[in-house]
Chain A
Amino acid sequence: MTRLHRYGRRAIVIGYARTALGLSCTLLPLGVMQPALWVGVALTVGATLFLIDGARCAGRHAMKLVVDDAGIRVLGLFGVTIGWDRLRAVELAYYSTRRDRGAGWMQLVIRGPGKAIRVDSDIDGFDRIVATASRRALQLGRPFHERTRINLASLSIDVGGAAGYAPGTVVRGADGA
Chain B
Amino acid sequence: MLNYTIRRILIMIPTLLVISLLTFTIIKLPPGDFLSNQIAELQSQGDRSALERAAFLRKQYGLDRPFIEQYATWVGIWPGERGFSGLLQGDWGWSFEYNLPVGEVVGDRLILTFILNFSAILFTWLVAFPIGVYSATRQYSWGDYGLTLLGYVGLATPSFLLALVLMYFANVHFGMSIGGIMDPQYLGQQWSWDKVASVLKHLWIPVIVIGTASTAGMIRRLRANLLDELQKQYVVTARAKGVPRLRLLIKYPLRMALNPFIADIGNLLPSIVSGSAIVAVVLSLQTAGPMLLSALRSQDQYLAGSFLMFMSLLTVFGMFISDLLLAALDPRIRLSGGSVK
Question: Do the beta carbons of B76 and A35 come within 8 Å of each other?
Answer: yes
Task: Indicate if the CB atoms of B332 and A105 lie closer than 8 Å.
Answer: no
CA distance A125 to B4 in the complex (A): 21
Instruction: Give the CA-CA distance A154 to B339 in the complex, in Å.
Output: 10
- Residues of A near B76 (CB, < 8 A) are 33, 35
Q: Which A residues touch B8, using CB under 8 A?
A: 97
Residue among B2, B8, B330, B337 facing the most chain A CB atoms (10 A cut-off): B337
Instruction: Tell me the chain A residues, 118-142 only, with Cβ under 8 Å from chain B.
Output: 120-122, 126
Band of interface residues on A? 35 or more
The chain A residue with its CB closest to the CB of B90 is A36
User: Which of B10, B90, B339 is the most central at the interface, judged by chain A CB atoms within 10 Å of its CB?
Assistant: B10
From residue B320, how far is it (CB to closest CB) to chain A in Å?
A: 10
Residue A157 CB within 8 A of the other chain: no
The A4-62 residues at the B interface (CB cut-off 8 A) are: 18, 21-22, 25, 29, 32-39, 46, 49-50, 52-53, 56
Inter-chain contacts of A53 with B (CB < 8 A): 2-3, 6
Asked if B7 CB lies within 8 Å of chain A CBs, one says yes
Residues of B within 8 A of A18 (CB): 6-7, 10
Q: How large is the interface on B (under 10, 10 to 19, 20 to 34, 35 or more residues)?
A: 20 to 34
For the complex formed, measure the closest distance between the CB of A17 and the CB atoms of chain B, giving whole angstroms: 10
Residue ID in chain A nearest B83 by CB atoms: A34
Contacts of A122 in B (CB 8 A): 341
Residues in A neighbouring B89, C-beta threshold 8 A: 33-36, 39
B333 interface residue (CB < 8 Å to A) = yes
**Are A95 and B338 interface neighbours, CB within 8 A?**
no
Q: Is B300 an interface residue (CB 8 A)?
A: no
Within the assembled complex, what's the spacing in Å between the Cα atoms of A33 and B213? 44
- A36→B234 contact, CB < 8 A: no
Q: Give the residue of B2, B83, B327, B340 whose beta carbon is less than 8 angstroms from that of A155.
A: B340
Pairwise interchain contact A97-B4, C-beta atoms closer than 8 A = yes
Contact of B234 among A94, A104, A146 (CB under 8 A): A146
Those of B199-244 within 8 Å (CB) of chain A: 232-234
Q: Are B6 and A50 in contact (CB under 8 A)?
A: yes
Whole-angstrom distance between the Cβ of B266 and the nearest chain A Cβ: 10
User: Are B338 and A103 in contact, with the CB atoms below 8 A?
Assistant: yes
Cα–Cα distance between A164 and B9 once the two chains are bound (Å)? 33
A106 at the interface (CB under 8 A from B): yes
* A94 and B339 contacting across the interface, CB-CB below 8 Å: no
Closest to B3 in A: A120
What sequence of 0s and 1s flags, for each residue 79-103 of chain A, a beta carbon within 8 Å of any chain B beta carbon?
A: 0000000000000011111001111
* Chain B residues numbered 73-125 whose CB sits less than 8 Å from any CB in chain A: 76-77, 83-84, 88-90
* Cα of A96 to Cα of B7 in the assembled complex, Å: 9
A77 at the interface (CB under 8 A from B): no
Nearest CB on A from B142, distance (A):
32
Is B335 close to A, CB under 8 A?
A: yes
Which residues of chain B are within 8 angstroms of A93 by Cβ–Cβ distance? 331
CB contacts (< 8 Å) of A21 on chain B: these are 10
Q: Is the CB of B88 within 8 A of A100?
A: no
Task: Verify B335–A154 contact, CB threshold 8 A.
Answer: yes
Write out the residue numbers on chain A whose beta carbons fall within 8 Å of the beta carbon of B83: 34
Q: A22-B10, A121-B341 are in contact. Are A95 and B335 (CB under 8 A)?
A: no
**CB-nearest residue of chain B relative to A21?**
B10
Q: How far is the CA of A106 from the CA of B10 in the complex (A)?
A: 19
A164 to B, closest residue via Cβ: B232
Name the residue of chain A whose CB is nearest to the CB of B17: A25
Residues B333 and A104 in contact, CB atoms below 8 Å apart: yes
User: CB-CB < 8 A to B77: which residues of A?
Assistant: 29, 33
Q: Give the Cβ gap from A166 to chain B, nearest Cβ, in Å.
A: 9
B247 at the interface (CB under 8 A from A): no
Interface 1/0 per residue, B5-17 and A, CB below 8 Å: 1111111010000
Give the 10 A-B CB pairs with smallest separation, nearest first.
A36-B90, A102-B338, A93-B331, A94-B333, A147-B332, A95-B4, A53-B6, A154-B333, A35-B88, A33-B84
Ordered by A's residue number, 17 sampled pairs between the chains whose C-beta atoms are within 8 Å are A18-B7, A22-B6, A33-B77, A33-B84, A33-B88, A34-B89, A97-B7, A97-B8, A101-B334, A104-B340, A106-B333, A107-B3, A121-B341, A153-B335, A154-B335, A163-B232, A165-B335
Which residues on A are within 8 Å of B, measured CB to CB?
18, 21-22, 25, 29, 32-39, 46, 49-50, 52-53, 56, 93-97, 100-107, 120-122, 126, 146-147, 150-151, 153-155, 163-165
